[in-house]
Amino acid sequence: MNADIGRIITKLDSLFARKEYAEAERLLKYWEKEGRASGDDRVYYLAVNEQMGLYRKLGRRDDAMAAVERMLSYLDSRNRRMSVEGATALLNAGTVYKAFGQSEEAVPFFEEASFVYEELLPPDDRRLAGLYNNMSSALTDLKRYDEALELCEKALSILGKTAGNEPEEAITYLNMTGMYEARDGIEKAQESIDTCLTKAQEKLAEADGKTEEGYLAFVFDKCAPTFAYYGWFAEKNLLMKRSEEIYERLGAVKEIL
C-alpha cells in the first residue's frame, strides 16, 4: 500500500474543522488497520497518534489510554522512542494523562520528550514551545508554579521569533494567568494577570484573518472562558461571536457526534 500521508492529513484537518468527529474516528480506525496489515509504519503511527488526540478531545478516557498503550508498544517494538517522531508521540501520551487528571504520570513523558527534542531539534523549533506549554500545565497541577512559568517564558521566546504563532502565544499568556493566580493569590497577581490578558488580546487580534479558520475558531473557543473568568466579558463575547461566525461559514456541526 502506498498511502498518501498528505491526503490523509488534509482529510482529517477538514473533518476536525467541521467537528465531524465520528467520521474522523472511522477514518483513523481504517488507516490503523490498513497500516498494521500492510506494515506501513507511517500510516499506523499517524492513525494511532491522531487517535490519542481525538479521544482526549472527546473525553473518552479508556479509548485514549488504549491508544497510548498501542503507541508505546509500537515505539518500543521499532526502537523509536529516541526519534523526533517518537518524542512527539510521547508528548501526546503525556497530554492524554494530563487531560484525565494524572499529571504526576504525565510529567515523565514530557521529560523524555523534552530530552529528545532538545537533542534533535533546532532551539527555535516551535515543537519545543508546544512541549514546554503542555509540560507547564502539568507542573501547575502539581503546584510547581515557578517551573511552569519558566517553561512558559521559554515557549514565548521561541514563538516570538517567527510570524504566524500568535494563537499559541495568546494561549500561553492565558495559561500564565492561572499560574500567577495560583502562586500569588488573585490580588497580588492582578498586575501580572492583566499584563498577560492584554498581550493575549493583542495576539488574538493579530491572528484574526491570517490563521487557518478552523484552527482560529478552535482557539477563540479555547481562550474565551479565561477572559470571562477575569471579567473581560467584552473580549469573551467578541471571541465567541467570531468563533460562531467561522464555524457557521465552514458548515461545522453543532454537536459532538
Within a domain: residue 129?
no
Q: Can you tell me the distance from the alpha carbon of 214 to that of 19, in angstroms, rounded to the nearest whole number?
A: 9
CA nearest 172: which of 134, 145, 138?
A: 134
pLDDT in tens, 244-253: 999 888 886 4
- CB under 8 A, 24+ apart: contacts of 233-239: 235/197, 235/201, 239/204
CATH code of 35's domain: 1.25.40.10
Mean pLDDT for 117-146 is 97
User: How many Cβ atoms from other residues are within 10 Å of residue 2's Cβ?
Assistant: 6
Kindly calculate the radius of gyration of the chain based on its CA atoms and give it in whole angstroms: 19
Within a domain: residue 56?
yes
Cell numbers at 60, concatenated: 473518552
Within a domain: residue 136?
no
In single-letter form, the type of residue at position 69 comes to: E
Mean pLDDT for 107-132 is 97
Q: Give residue 69's pLDDT.
A: 98
Domain that includes residue 68, residue range = 1-121
Residue 256 above 80 pLDDT?
no
Q: Can you tell me the distance from the alpha carbon of 239 to that of 208, in angstroms, rounded to the nearest whole number?
A: 10
Mean pLDDT for 220-224 is 97
Q: Can you tell me the distance from the alpha carbon of 116 to that of 75, in angstroms, rounded to the nearest whole number?
A: 14
pLDDT in tens, 184-202: 999 999 999 999 999 999 9
Residue 172 above 90 pLDDT?
yes
Q: Give residue 249's pLDDT.
A: 87
Within a domain: residue 168?
no
Inter-CA distances, 83 with 21, 150, 170, Å: 29, 25, 29
Mean pLDDT for 62-67 is 98
Cell numbers at 185, concatenated: 493569590
> What is the total count of domains within the chain?
1
What is the pLDDT of the chain when averaged over all its residues?
A: 95
Within a domain: residue 4?
yes
Mean pLDDT for 4-32 is 94
Residue 211 above 90 pLDDT?
no
Residue 254 above 70 pLDDT?
no
pLDDT band at 99 (very low <50, low <70, confident <90, very high): very high
